[in-house]
Amino acid sequence: KQEVTQIPAALSVPEGENLVLNCSFTDSAIYNLQWFRQDPGKGLTSLLLIQSSQREQTSGRLNASLDKSSGRSTLYIAASQPGDSATYLCAVMGNNNDMRFGAGTRLTVKP
Amino acid sequence: GAGVSQSPRYKVAKRGQDVALRCDPISGHVSLFWYQQALGQGPEFLTYFQNEAQLDKSGLPSDRFFAERPEGSVSTLKIQRTQQEDSAVYLCASGPQLAQLTNTEAFFGQGTRLTVV
């Protein structure tokens, strides 16, 4: 069974800092990996999707990397803003169409 | 509709009561997933449908949990004889084809928060 781990569980940074969120997974036979954002009481917003053949994806201040062989992904957020405060979830899609999530990193960006 | 719709948004059930949670996926979407999210945790996979076929139900925690999608569109997650540990947010997601969950918020519903008292 695929296990997805996210570190750290919580992170608090001052506004303007660059930060990295980490995700690791145990089974490298994946279809894709997605990073989601979840605000309290809301559903999930997909931020970036990396196909298994890709190494990274970028969207605005966000950059996600994937090292499938080592079972790792990182989400880099540049010049953080208070509006970035949310829980960030990493999800791995297996070849059997099952998507497994990590427990998330709760990010707080202080003004 | 514009996105995945789940109802009810909130449900309070007495222990032992049966509940039914509804998911209306985006029209035409083939894939449909159910997840359970406990407080402070990531979503846990429950089950997956491709059209009306339930291809994977390995995540259903017990035989009290049952999901169906009889016409390949609307899906219902039923929990019988609810227990306090069933309290969680139940999320539904849909995709246009196999596992193709693309970059739009609309693909996940806002969830149903179930509280068992």
pLDDT tens for B24-72 read 999 988 889 999 999 888 999 899 898 999 998 989 999 999 999 999 9
Nearest to A110 by CA among A10, A4, A6, A15: A15
Partner-chain contact A49 B102, CB within 8 Å: yes
Which candidate, B26, B65, B82, B38, places its Cα nearest to that of B6?
B26
Question: Using a CB-CB distance cutoff of 8 angstroms, which residues of chain A are in contact with residue B33?
Answer: 99
Contacts of A93 in chain B (CB under 8 A): 99, 101
Is pLDDT at B98 greater than 70 in this prediction?
A: no
Residues of A in contact with B105 (CB under 8 A): 43-46
Quick one: pLDDT at residue A93? Answer: 85
Give, in degrees to the nearest 5, the angle at Cα A26 between A68 and B54.
Answer: 100
DSSP per-residue letters across B65-110: EEEE-TTSS-EEEEESS--GGG-EEEEEEEESSTT---S-GGGB--
Among B50, B102, B109, select the one facing A43 at the smallest CB separation: B109
